[in-house]
Amino acid sequence: MSAMSYERIKLEFENNVARLTLNHPEALNAISRQMLRELHDALPRIADPANGARCLLLTGAGRGFSAGANLTDSEGGFGEGPRDAGAVLESDYHPLLLQLRDLPMPLITAVNGPAAGAGMSFALMGDLVLAAKSAYFLQAFRRIGLVPDAGSTYMLPRLVGWGRAMELALMGEKLPAEKAFEWGLVNRVYEDDALPGEAVKLAEELAAGPTRTLGLIRKAMWKTFENTFEQQLLLERVSQREAGQTEDFIEGVTAFVQKRPAEFKGK
């Protein structure tokens, strides 16, 4: 295992999995400008093939995933008096969210406790969202007079539908993990003590897969929100051409014919 040195996050590489942990547990992993800077530094390292990562697992340290923006952060742009509360979104959050969207590998979020505000937004970026039974999701923005941000207004209606998205945003009520699963916001729910191990197991399973193809699947799924049917058919054609030229495709077909498990290399 190798690890990078940060203060507000932890980044570890093991078994082709990059494990990224929001690491300010005494503040429930509230997102500060420092944390954002460290995340900006970490994501290119994760995407760098030299580090061997073929899946990203994002979680939180301690008893929560993230409480959202750190309102006591001296750099955060919060405080008394009117101000441009959206400036930090444009400068820090949006580039980070685009990097997460464009990762060339699967992204799993393991929600080990509260995921509120922008913390919920980060949780929703997972291709697979896993949650502990005690976890909950909260669109906390309206509680401080702000609108949902960090991609929430994009993701929520697509994940749970218009009516439920409106309810979450307007009411600002907690959504428990098991109800989030019923609504389609969460893929899997585990007992609290089982979540870390199950998340790693799933991440390692994806990391052992045909990574380039999985990256193409991610890209196609994101594009379906904006493409016409004809455009999506063309994207499938282009993506399939690229997938068919990978070594993993040859290995997959060979393994199928030989009736053995495929040994994918991510190439």
Q: Is there a common fold for 2-207 and 211-257? A: no
β-strand partners of 130: 110, 188
Residue 161 confidence (pLDDT) above 80: yes
Query: 118-150 pLDDT, tens per residue?
Result: 999 999 999 999 999 999 999 999 988 999 999
pLDDT (mean) for 211-221: 96
- Per-residue pLDDT band for 5 (boundaries 50, 70, 90) equals confident
The reported pLDDT for the residue numbered 82 is 56
For the chain, the structural domain boundaries read 2-207, 211-257
Q: 211-257: which CATH architecture?
A: Orthogonal Bundle (1.10)
Report field, pTM of the whole predicted structure over 0.85: yes
Residue 210 confidence (pLDDT) above 80: yes
Phi, psi of 83 (to 5 degrees): -160, 165
The reported pLDDT for the residue numbered 78 is 52
Please give the CATH number for the structural domain made up of 2-207.
3.90.226.10
How many CB atoms within 10 Å of residue 193? 9
User: Which active-site residues does the annotation give?
Assistant: 94, 149
Listed range (82-86, 92-96, 187-191, 199-203) with the worst mean pLDDT: 82-86
Query: 53-77 pLDDT, tens per residue?
Result: 999 999 999 999 999 998 886 665 5
